[in-house]
Structure formats: C-alpha cells, structure tokens
Structure 1
Amino acid sequence: MPTTPSSRFTLPAENVLRARERLVLDHFRDEVRQDWDATLSTFPHPHYELIAPMVVHDGDSEVRGYYQDTRAAFPDQNHELIALRHSTDAVIVEFWLLGTHKGFLGRIPPTGSRHRTRMTAYFIFDEHENLVTERIYFDQLTVLKQLVAGIDKRRPTGLLRLARVLKGALAAAGTRPDPRLLNTTPPNLGS
C-alpha cells in the first residue's frame, strides 16, 4: 500500500519519516563500517547518482564497485553529519565527507592528503517506501584543492606528483555525462 502523500505539500506520517531516517542512518553507519552487504540491503535495487561528475552507478555490481574504488582511494573514509531533513519523498542529509587519499581516485594518483568536503545527499523513496536513489551533490574542485594542498611544490618530486594529479583530474573531466542525469523533466507545479 502506498504511503507517500498525494500532495507535494504534505509530509508522510511521523512513523514513515522515522523509518526512513533509521534506514538512512543505518546506511551511513554500514558505509563507514564498509559492510557492503548491509549497505546494499537498504535498496531493493542499488542506484547512486553523483551529480558533480555526472556519473550513475546502477545495480549491485556497479554500486559495489563504486564502494570498493572509493575505499581504495580513501581507506579511512568517514562522515560527520551536519543536518538531516525530510521531504515528501526523500531524506536530505548534509554531511562532511572525510578521508586520507592513499590510493588512486580514478586516474588521480594518491597524494597522502586528507580532505574534508561538505556534501548533500538525497535519499529518495518511492511510493512503497523503498529507497530507490541516493543522489549526491558536492564540489569536485573542493576535493581536488585539498588533495593537492599537501603536495610539497618546492621539491621536484612534489612537482612531478602535482603534474600526475592534474593529468588524472583532466582525464576524469573529459568523461561524458550519463544521459540519465541530463534528460530531466520539469516538475508538475499545477497542484
């Protein structure tokens, strides 16, 4: 039985909001613990949308690969929650993402630098209260600036590392946006 309200101006009942919030907090906890099975179990079909790079990870295999790649880059990745809000179909979480760059982040070689980046994630629920999407907004340049900040640019080895990081960042910038994030439909604001 659907539980999402029919009006965009009406929030679901408190018990629905509490259940959504618990699921989202469990999701965050399990990500930090790197318990991928538990994290993925919060979705009937795992689906991540990373808006800054315009990338979609869809399905168990792709999302699990995303988790593994980001934890190879930042093995100590963690979150600090800032705020949690509810909407008619989502839990919206503001948080700091933290981690030390110890492995490749895509084509960007490790810098050993630590980052602390403010982000927002929309955990979107369908009419049956299933988590269907985690949509994450952040500024890639903020991350990159922090990763290169720890490089010693006065030494030749530091300059070489900086050149490799910038080459990797430019290679990532050249990827095509996922069309699922480009083909949007304006909302119906008639009611």
Structure 2
Amino acid sequence: MTTESVRKARQKLVLDHFRDEVRQQWDDVLSTFPHPHYELVPTLTVHDGDSAVREYYRNTRVAFPDQHHEIISFRHSDDAVIVEFWLMGTHLGPLGGIPPTGSRFRVRMSAYFIFDASETLVCERVYFDTLSMLKQLLGGLDMKSPKNWLLAVRCFRGLLAMSGNAPAPALTETTPPVLAE
C-alpha cells in the first residue's frame, strides 16, 4: 500500500508533468522521468527514450499547437497514478499522413503514470478512442463543398498510410499476471 506522502509526491509530479506539457516546456516534462517512455495503446505505438519522446512531442504540437487538457479525475493505485482527462486542440498541421483539417477535437482519455519500486516514473500509458478523435477531425469537413473533396481524399490516404505501421510488440505481446488464489 502506498502512503499518503507517496501519493502526494506522485500527484505533484504528475500535475507538474501535465502543466509542463501544456506549456510545451519539454525539458521540464522530461525531467519527471529519467528514461522517457510513452505507450499509446490505441495506435499501438511506443515512444522510448529522450529523442523518440521529443519527436512525439514535436509531431503532436505541429498537428495541434494549442493542445491542452482538462482533468476529470485523479486516482492512485499501488504502482500508478491514473488520470482521466479531456484532451483538446485544433488540427492545424499534419497528423502523420493526415493533412490539417482546421477542426477542433475534444476526446476523453486515461493515462496511467506507472512508478517502479523506487518511486521513479517509468511509463505513461495512454488510452483513448481514436474513432472519436477522427470523427471530430474529419467529420467537420463539409462534403457538399467540392473544395473539401480533395482534402477528404488526402485524409483517407493519410489514414491508410498510418494503418500500415507494425504494432509495437510491447503492446501486443503481453504476459498475463500470476494471480494469487
């Protein structure tokens, strides 16, 4: 069981992490864990290490320069802090192969901030519904207007290109826990 002081320390670290992400203070965000490691479950991608995580930050802020969040709930477990939140932003740059649509999104997410036995943050594992996000990004296109037809085709091609990436084995080849009876 975690103590109240451990919960408070974890909570401060996670809240600092969230705050610094919105401020795009990447050095400060990365200082919250010695070996940055993100797992994005819906896209089956892992960003591991300083340079990979910085590239992830760069790509997401090119796509959504105004990305921000609204925390819904904050929970503690023995080895993690679980945060449920709304992620919001405007699609002003390419998202992988999907060209910018100018649409806004608001997607409910959960992030597991996982700590090791020495209370070091070792992973941020994020869950969200990609269809909810895509519906908002692409659903705002007025398909009655011919000027959006080419953009819609480019978005579809971008989605197809992104779907061809191999999933990260760390997210697909898991070992079930051994549970005490």
TM-score by length of 2: 0.98
Deviations 1:156-181 (A, max 9, x none): 11111111111111211121101111
* 2:39 corresponds to 1:60: no
- Any residues of structure 2 matched to 1:5-44 within 5 Å, and which? 11-44=1-34
Q: Please tell me the residue identity of whatever aligns with 1:188.
A: V
- Any residues of structure 2 matched to 1:1-191 within 5 Å, and which? 11-190=1-180
Q: Secondary structure of the residue that 1:157 maps to in structure 2?
A: helix
Q: Please tell me the residue identity of whatever aligns with 1:132.
A: V
Residue 100 (structure 1) shift: 0.1
Q: Secondary structure of the residue that 2:95 maps to in structure 1?
A: coil
User: Alignment RMSD, CA only?
Assistant: 0.8
Distance in 1 (alpha carbons) for counterparts of 2:153 and 2:133: 17
Distance in 2 (alpha carbons) for counterparts of 1:31 and 1:101: 17
Stretch deviating more after TM superposition (98-107 or 175-184) = 175-184
Q: Which structure 1 segments of 5+ residues have no match?
A: 1-10
Q: Secondary structure of the residue that 2:81 maps to in structure 1?
A: strand
Q: Please tell me the residue identity of whatever aligns with 1:106.
A: G
Q: Secondary structure of the residue that 1:52 maps to in structure 2?
A: helix
Distance in 2 (alpha carbons) for counterparts of 1:33 and 1:122: 21
Residue 187 (structure 1) shift: 1.0
Identity value in percent: 62
Stretch deviating more after TM superposition (35-44 or 146-155) = 146-155
Q: Secondary structure of the residue that 1:119 maps to in structure 2?
A: strand
Q: How many residues align?
A: 181
Q: Secondary structure of the residue that 1:110 maps to in structure 2?
A: coil
Q: Please tell me the residue identity of whatever aligns with 2:16.
A: D
